[in-house]
Amino acid sequence: MEAVITILALLFFAFVALGVYVSVKAVRVAKRGVERTVTQARRTVEETALRAKSYGQTGVAGELAQLRLKLRTSMRATQDTLNAGAAQDASLSESLALFRRLSAHAHELDEELGRLEREPDRGKVSSLMPGLRERTERITHSAESLRWAARDRAQKFSDDDLDALSAQIDMEAGALRHWSAADGGTEPAAWPKAPETGAADQAGPDAGAQNRPETGPQSEAGAGAPGRPQAISARDPRQQTAYPWQKTARPETTN
């Protein structure tokens, strides 16, 4: 009895521990989902504000917004391309490592551009603009180089696979058209012959004439001989064998 109680207690604690683990796992997944959603929402709001500033403001403030918007758009497009390609091509792992290093410089530049947007000394900001443009151009150019190289690689693999598939389909189509015997196909099966009716059909007309039954007195005399076919004649209903339950047939009388 004590062993049963111990086993039940262990099972209870095991189920409790499993429930706690599943709950913690679900909470962590939900938390990551919420954080991802909040991050995307904040990024969307920031980019919308930057787009509005780039079109609505002039001078240094508008140019800073344009630089930030250009930098973010290029980096996000490159990240999406590399992540999508790395799932199918392991060779892009090195490209992803380089992109992470580039992302560090891009984040640093984006933060600096954001601080300069709130800088009240516009003269100082104007003096820094040439260097900011150059840094933005270098980062976006590197990001575009990685993005287009990954796209070209994926397109090349797709074209090679399509060429190989087209060649296989052409070979299969050619093989399917070789249905005649001259091209290596198989001939249709011959229809079965009609069943033979006797030895006379195989030996020819002469043998059939020899096996034909004779006519005349000799044939009538030998009709009862063994080995010859007997003629079949209809039975006389008056001479049929009577069964016990049948009456004897009456003899015919003439008037």
- pLDDT (average), residues 77-97: 87
Higher pLDDT, 154 or 228: 154
Q: Alpha-carbon distance 8 to 4, whole Å?
A: 6
Nearest CA-CA partner of 110 in 146, 142, 74? 74
Determine which of 6-10, 37-41, 66-70, 139-143 has the lowest per-residue pLDDT on average: 37-41
pLDDT of the residue at 46: 73
pLDDT band, very low/low/confident/very high, at 74 (cuts 50, 70, 90): very high
- pLDDT (average), residues 130-149: 93
pLDDT band, very low/low/confident/very high, at 199 (cuts 50, 70, 90): very low
pLDDT band, very low/low/confident/very high, at 207 (cuts 50, 70, 90): very low
pTM for the whole structure: 0.54
Nearest CA-CA partner of 67 in 138, 141, 136, 134? 136
Query: Are 145 and 152 contacting, i.e. CB atoms less than 8 angstroms apart?
Result: no
Q: At what angle do helices 59-86 and 93-117 cross, to 10 degrees?
A: 160
Query: Are 88 and 126 contacting, i.e. CB atoms less than 8 angstroms apart?
Result: no
Higher pLDDT, 79 or 15: 79
pLDDT of the residue at 240: 52
pLDDT tens figures, 156-188:
888 888 999 999 999 989 888 876 545 554 554
